[in-house]
Amino acid sequence: MAKNISGVARPAGEKRSRGRPRGTAQPSEAASVQSLDRAIALMKLLSAGNGLSLTEISQQSGIAASTAYRMLTTLQAHGMVEFNEADQLWFIGIETFRMGAGFLRRRKLAEQGRAIIQDLMLESGETANLALADEDCVVFVSQVETHEAIRAFFRPGTRSPLHASGIGKAILAFTEARQRDALLKRLPLEVFTPKTHATRASLIADLIGIRARGFSVDDEERNLGMRCVAAAVFNEFGEPVGGVSISGPTVRMDDAKVAAMGPRVRSAAAALTQAMGGILPEAVRAA
């Protein structure tokens, strides 16, 4: 015997309500629905069930069947819900899993990275940072401040352009070539200091050096008087998704300290990559 959504068995011969009304346009012909609140409510409803008919969805959501169907077909077009023709049931879609997995990776990166950047701060004596890639910027999500009176500070949520930040340049350096080239074509190279990369040629030359050594240096390119050493963190596909860095005033972050801490920051990023199940590209392993 089959079971309904409450887990109660129903007779095998019992006919279940259709998943969509008769005479309604197919998904490709359905108009897009912009009622976001109700669409999200439908996804929540489907995620809590084990397949629902259109009638059940309408009854449980309080949304008219015809309206619910238009919403469902819009969501179906984006992979957010799926429809099983044989059972006439609607299910939550694979795209919602991908979105959820993205959130879990972000949480895992922040949680796993906390201890790693704490160690970096203690070893270097400088502020240590953790940031995530977000389109043409990086977003700082965690920081451990040094106890020095003069120190770098990035409030969580602070955004910094890829071309003018240590972590951003480390991400760019290890982004797949075609994707990186497309990004650089539309990336505005805003100049913040006389040392900011103002041309794509100078930025690309820097990225080549970063790939060779496995870590980047922000040499007063975002803020005069401040230097940063950074390395990228990679996901399970070997794609850069964020990075770790140490930042401090140039009076302490001299060439000798940068050279000494670069490999250490690279190792910290590799440890975080491993902790979150990521894969280091061959270029990083060889550096």
Helix (H, G, I), strand (E, B) or coil at 131: strand
pLDDT band at 110 (very low <50, low <70, confident <90, very high): confident
**In the prediction, which pLDDT does 125 show?**
92
Query: What does pLDDT average to over the chain?
Result: 85
Is the pLDDT score of 181 beyond 50?
yes
Interval 123-145: pLDDT, tens: 999 999 999 998 889 998 888 88
Helix (H, G, I), strand (E, B) or coil at 167: helix
**In the prediction, which pLDDT does 283 show?**
80
Q: How far apart (Å, rounded) are the C-alpha atoms in residues 67 and 54?
A: 11
pLDDT band at 18 (very low <50, low <70, confident <90, very high): low
Domains of the chain in start order, with CATH, are 2-92 (1.10.10.10), 98-286 (3.30.450.40)
Torsion-angle region of residue 214: left (phi > 0), alpha (psi -120 to 50) or beta? left
Interval 31-72: pLDDT, tens: 444 578 899 999 999 988 889 999 999 999 999 999 999 999
**In the prediction, which pLDDT does 104 show?**
59
**In the prediction, which pLDDT does 6 show?**
36
pLDDT band at 16 (very low <50, low <70, confident <90, very high): low
Among candidates 166, 195, 168, 164, which has minimal Cα distance to 180? 168
Q: How far apart (Å, rounded) are the C-alpha atoms in residues 19 and 102?
A: 30
**In the prediction, which pLDDT does 35 show?**
75
Interval 78-101: pLDDT, tens: 999 999 999 999 999 988 887 776
Q: How far apart (Å, rounded) are the C-alpha atoms in residues 49 and 82?
A: 13
Would you say how long the chain is, in residues?
287
Q: How far apart (Å, rounded) are the C-alpha atoms in residues 14 and 1?
A: 10
**pTM greater than the 0.85 cutoff:** no
The sign of the dihedral angle between the CA atoms of 36, 43, 109, 286 is negative
Most confident of 95-99, 109-113, 186-190, 245-249: 245-249
Let me know the angle formed at the C-alpha of 4 by 99 and 91, rounded to the nearest 5 degrees: 20
Which has the minimum average pLDDT: 15-24, 222-231, 248-257? 15-24
